[in-house]
Chains A and B, each alone.
Chain A
Amino acid sequence: MNKILSLIKTDLNTSFGLSALQYKLTNKRDRFQIILFGIVILSVLPSYMMIVKGLSNLYEAYNSMGQESMFLLNGFLFSQMIVFIFGILYVMSKYYFSNDLNVLVPLPLKPREIIGGKFVSLMVNEYLTSLPIILPFIIIFGFTGEEGLLYWLYALILILFLPVIPLALASIVVMLFMKYTNIKGRKDLVRIIGYFVLIIGLLFFQLKFQSIAQNALMEGEDFFLKLARDSNLLVKRLGLSFPPSMWGALSLSSYTSITGLLNLILFVGLSIVVFLVNIFLSERVFFDGLIGNLEVSTFRGSSRIKASDYSKSYPAFIALGLKEIKMLLRTPVYLLNSVVGVVIVPILLILSTSMDGGQSIEGLNMLMKAYPHLISLIGAGLITFMGVMNCVGCTTFSREGRSLWIQRALPIRARDQILGRVLSSLFVQLIGILALLGAIAYLGFLSLENLVWITVLGILGSLAMAELGMIVDIFRPLLNWDNPQKAMKQNLNVLIAMGIGSLYIVGVGFLAYKLLGKIDILIIYGIIGFIFIFTSILLYIPLRKLIERQFQILEY
């Protein structure tokens, strides 16, 4: 037991950089950075408050139907799903791609001890994801319904156990996945494709199940009668797609009765069972998936090297961009977060609109007739938002990690640094644009106008977002990492850039909305394009100065 505690303590310390933080707090320059970081986080709050306000309205809507518990189910389902999806990525890199494995595996530790320690550390990390999602649901429900002390006690237990099931499921899925994809040769490729198929499959299953449940529910004339009679009816039907979320919602909505207690016991009980299954399984399969990863690949020899490979020459910014793209494509964690990320959004669009028997398509058709330019505007906005979501710009310096010395010791101009790195972000964005245009074409809404404006405005917007991300990243690059996941998904720079980026996009979107119908659409496109170009130029100057300054004072 002491071993596990020590493992957890060390893992938490290294994962969250506690000792490093302590050092930073005593260092004047770094302390300033932390304060500034706090201010930036505060600036993200308005967007968050807007979402919370929207949730209050959602509560009112369910309340008017007498189905308030459905509000809680939404919270549980959404937070557990996010924990599961992020969990798969976190688990994969934490269990299989982290540098501490070289230290841990040779130690006399059982797989269950290693996995147990890593699991707890991941749990703490997942609270950072689950709390901002579930808390507004629980607080709105609790305060509006003036719930009693027991409600808050139940809520506390549920919040503590919330990430266990999805994370343990993610852990089981990943361990089995890694065991059976441990194929010599194209291991990384098999795993990336497998992961992609897995996520799409799970989403497909989830959406399909919900649409079946929804359709079944609406059938029959006595639906409204039943609805009026049972205030938990919607939860009981729709919650079947993921029963633990349903139990969570029911235990809180019926906390005064024995049903509430039983559901709480079910929720906590299943969490413990799934966790134990996970630990039991780790003993059997963890090393099977791992050993291949630590193997050094055998030399394939340089027979594939052609004479021309020795004399490939590019201008500095292109060489830098190509290097970035190669590293993105060859590091599974980077590829999953960037390219797969921008491809999944359009696929989700197709899945969510085409699985409800054509209802959404009909609705969209009507909307398009009323506002024919909406697709171009929303499409360009979506692509621009993906410009920060793809994590390429806002982690570009962090991803260099301890290799940053190469960039700093070489005679590379700041201009080339910017151009090369923007190039790699645009590469990912182009894939996103193609995927989005493909999705729009699949849904039957693609026109020449959409194609041109989504591409042009999307690229211009992405340019500004890539620069914005780079400013955030060069200001406080996360270089001391032992696991590439930390450089990308666990990098707070992504959150900061996303906060600022979304405020910016909401601002531009609001302007477009106000102008819509008042002036010609071409002028609106022109104004948006001008704003994007102007922002890019405006950001370029401080970015260049920051790179020059930071490259002198960073210590890696």
Chain B
Amino acid sequence: MLKNISVCYIIYITYIKGGMDLLKLQNLSKTYSKGEVKAVDNVSLDIKPGEIFGFLGPNGAGKTTTIKMIVGLLKPDDGKVYINGIDAWENPLEAKKQLSFVPDTPEIYDKLKGIEYLNFIADMYEVPREIRRERMEKYLEIFNLKHAIGDIIGSYSHGMKQKLVLISALIHEPNLFILDEPMVGLDPKSSFQLKEIMRKRCHEGKTVFFSTHVLEVAEKLCDRIAIINKGKIIALGTMEELRSHAEERESLEKIFLELTENE
């Protein structure tokens, strides 16, 4: 009870009192092929603690490029990324401690056992022994991966690898959870569990930022949505706000199609 009250208080402080954004993108730009192709063009976003933020866009719109610039995998040509107030490219170690990242393809160490991979990631985030054990067991149970954790990752299916990456990303309970197309390859039960975890994190005052093609997921789950097309944010707001701006107001799918086709 006391814990819940304190969590609500944190959310109150940060939200109502207009506290610090957990993720802030400031005029972020990235070009490819000698500046001919603008993959991300002057993108700015402010995402508050406790928010589930959906990042939508057609293929090649700049979603993954933006995400890679946030997590430190792709250096922006221009602009700034702040995570919990920390400049992610000036002070990368401190920024990375705040977040965890789940990529769209789980390219991980095939020759390690699942448990060895989880311990490796936990060591890098300096998660204490007692806590890591409890968290590993909890998430392995949720994603039904306990039976395979002693096996070499090379023997896992795509979905199992995806689950392992998800678990490893949750081990240090990051303030900012960033996922690139997280539902791809997951079975329906795991997909459901992941959505539950996202909601729970948001209730705890932590932030989830994810890109997706599955519009229904975004519609049901997200507090706010941004639609990116040809590197530019073309719509940003809650579902209600997006509806009010679009001519077709029925579903996110229709809004999405209308906006991206008009561009």
**Interface on A for B, CB 8 Å cutoff?**
27-28, 296-305, 307, 309-316, 319-320, 323, 326-327, 330-331, 401-403, 405-406, 408-413, 551-553, 555
Pick the interface stretch among B2-10, B142-150, B239-247, B249-257.
B142-150
Return chain B residues, CB-CB under 8 Å to A320: 120, 124
Q: Are the C-beta atoms of B155 and A299 separated by less than 8 Å?
A: yes
* Interface locus among B51-59, B96-104, B187-195, B215-223: B96-104
Q: Complex: how many Å from CA A303 to CA B151? A: 10
Stretch among B41-49, B111-119, B201-209, B225-233 lining the A interface: B111-119
Closest to A553 in B: B75
B73 near A299: Cβ-Cβ < 8 Å: no
Q: How far is the CB of A397 from chain B (nearest CB, A)?
A: 14
Partner of B111 from A301, A327, A402 at Cβ < 8 Å: A327
Q: How far is the CB of A98 from chain B (nearest CB, A)?
A: 14
Whether the pair A327, B96 counts as a contact (CB closer than 8 A) is: no
Q: Which residues of chain B come closer than 8 Å to A331, judged between CB atoms?
A: 111
Is A311 a contact partner of B109 (Cβ separation < 8 A)? no
Select which of A300, A323, A408, A411 is within 8 A of B97 by beta carbon: A411
Q: What DSSP secondary structure best describes chain B's contact surface?
A: helix
Which A residues lie within 8 Å of B108 (CB)? 403, 406
Q: Among A304, A314, A405, A555, find the residue whose CB has the most chain B CB atoms closer than 10 A.
A: A405
Partner of B120, one of A301, A323, A413: A323
- B92 & A323 in contact (Cβ 8 Å cutoff): no
A555 to B32, CA, bound (A): 12
Q: Are A409 and B96 in contact (CB under 8 A)?
A: yes
Please list 10 pairs of residues, one from A and one from B, whose beta carbons are closer than 8 Å in the complex, sorted by A's number: A301-B150, A310-B133, A310-B137, A313-B127, A326-B111, A401-B107, A405-B73, A412-B93, A553-B75, A555-B74
Q: Which residues of B pack against A, CB within 8 Å?
A: 34, 71-75, 89, 92-94, 96-97, 101, 103, 107-109, 111-112, 115-116, 119-130, 132-133, 136-137, 146-152, 154-155
Establish whether residues B101 and A409, one from each chain, have CB atoms under 8 Å apart when the complex forms.
yes
Contact between A313 and B119, CB atoms less than 8 A apart:
yes
Residue of A nearest to B105 (CB): A402
A401: chain B residues within 8 A (beta carbon): 107
B residues near A552, Cβ cutoff 8 Å: 72, 75, 89, 92
Closest to A312 in B: B119
B73 touches A316 (CB 8 A): no
In addition to A303-B150, A311-B133, 20 A-B residue pairs with Cβ atoms within 8 Å of each other are A27-B34, A296-B154, A297-B154, A299-B147, A299-B148, A304-B150, A309-B150, A310-B115, A313-B123, A316-B126, A319-B120, A331-B111, A402-B107, A403-B107, A403-B108, A405-B73, A405-B103, A406-B108, A411-B94, A411-B97
Contacts of B111 in A (CB 8 A): 326-327, 330-331
